[in-house]
Amino acid sequence: MALYADLDALRASAADVRIVTSDGQSIAAHSYVLASASPVLEKMIDRAWRGGGGGCTIRVLGVPSDAVLAFLHLLYASRVEEDVVAAHGPQLLALAHAYRVGWLKRAAEAAVAARLTPDRAADMLKLAGLLDAPRLRAACARLAAKDLAAVEASDGWRFARRHDPALEMELLQMVEDAARRRARWAKERASQEAYGQLADAMDSLDRIFASGDTAAEVPSSTSTTECEQGLRLLMRHFATCARRAAPGGCARCRRLLQLFRLHASVCDRPEHEHDQPCRVPLCSNFKARMQAEKADKTWRLLVKKVTRARAMAGLADRRVPEIVAMSWARYNSSSKWAKLR
């Protein structure tokens, strides 16, 4: 079958298919354009020609004739025109799904999701379920989780409560899932921040005792970070605390001992004197105790998390090589590549 050089020559050729809309409007079209754009239309046209009825008529029902004209226009153009897709987004999404036009379905789904409003969220969620549109469904979930009160005030929500309880339950479940995800992410961020603070404390202990001085000998004004200042104050308290040997003990002293134990667990310096051993107090003692006694699972997990946080902090502070920085500078300044990002 010969291909036309341009769209004007194609439109000037004789049409051999009639598209009939819901309001009875008849639209002339070309079978080879429709067949090449949609496998569903290809089968319908082939079945009509084999029937020998003397013509091919395809009924496109359920959408306005303007949407059918826009659908045919995009099939002829073979490209996405944003103004057309924006004007008939839901209808084009339904037509593209029914006739299996993948590129048009993706464009229409993105257009509908980008223009989603609270008063249409319930209706579009139902449409997303019928048309297998996961991106649109996710957009409805985000909007409902962000402004559930506005969604509940819409006509679509009230209709769903009266006639479609399954849709109402689905939307409420999506909102609950979104709330759980936010809570889980907040908890994970808080945990990562805590592990990062512990990793910073381990590095601060190394810096404090690197010169061989004790915390009491070095004034707090020489500390470079807030973490170091807190550790120095804690160690000064440990040196003068009278409750340390009491039956109940001192919570601050126990906290410092836990930090020393954690440092010994993550410390990778050798234990022999000729190899410049670690100067942090009790490091060698805790290492010897860990070799004799196996730590519990929770403590091993804590050590693993803190070690990972120290490694990630080291990567973040690493200086970027000059050649890499120059390459990124050329990439950012290039207008050609900037358009592709």
Nearby residues of 122 by Cβ (< 8 Å), 6 or more positions away: 140, 151, 154, 156, 157, 159, 160, 167, 171
Run of H or E including 323 = helix 322-333
Q: Which of 140, 138, 93 is nearest to 119 (CA)?
A: 140
Record the tokens describing residue 160, joined without a space: 């769903």
Q: What is the pLDDT of residue 52?
A: 67
What angle do helix axes 155-163 and 121-131 make, rounded to 10 degrees? 60
- Rounded-to-integer distance, Cα 108 and Cα 87, Å: 10
Single pTM value for the model: 0.60
Any idea where the domains of the chain sit in the sequence? 1-108, 185-325
Summarised one tens digit per residue, pLDDT across range 208-218 is: 887 655 554 54
Low-confidence residues of the chain: pLDDT under 70: 1-13, 52-54, 211-224, 245, 270-276, 316-318, 320, 332-341
Q: What is the pLDDT of residue 4?
A: 36
Query: Which phi and psi angles does 19 have, rounded to 5°?
Result: -100, 120
- In the CATH hierarchy, which top-level class contains the domain 1-108? alpha beta
- Rounded-to-integer distance, Cα 89 and Cα 77, Å: 17
Summarised one tens digit per residue, pLDDT across range 275-295 is: 667 788 888 888 888 888 877
Query: Which phi and psi angles does 26 have, rounded to 5°?
Result: -110, 130
Q: What is the pLDDT of residue 213?
A: 54
- Rounded-to-integer distance, Cα 121 and Cα 137, Å: 9
Q: Which of 168, 127, 108, 164 is nearest to 144 (CA)?
A: 168
User: How would CATH label the architecture of 185-325?
Assistant: Up-down Bundle (1.20)
In this structure, which amino acid lies at residue 229? Q
Q: What is the pLDDT of residue 48?
A: 85
Query: Which phi and psi angles does 27 have, rounded to 5°?
Result: -120, 130
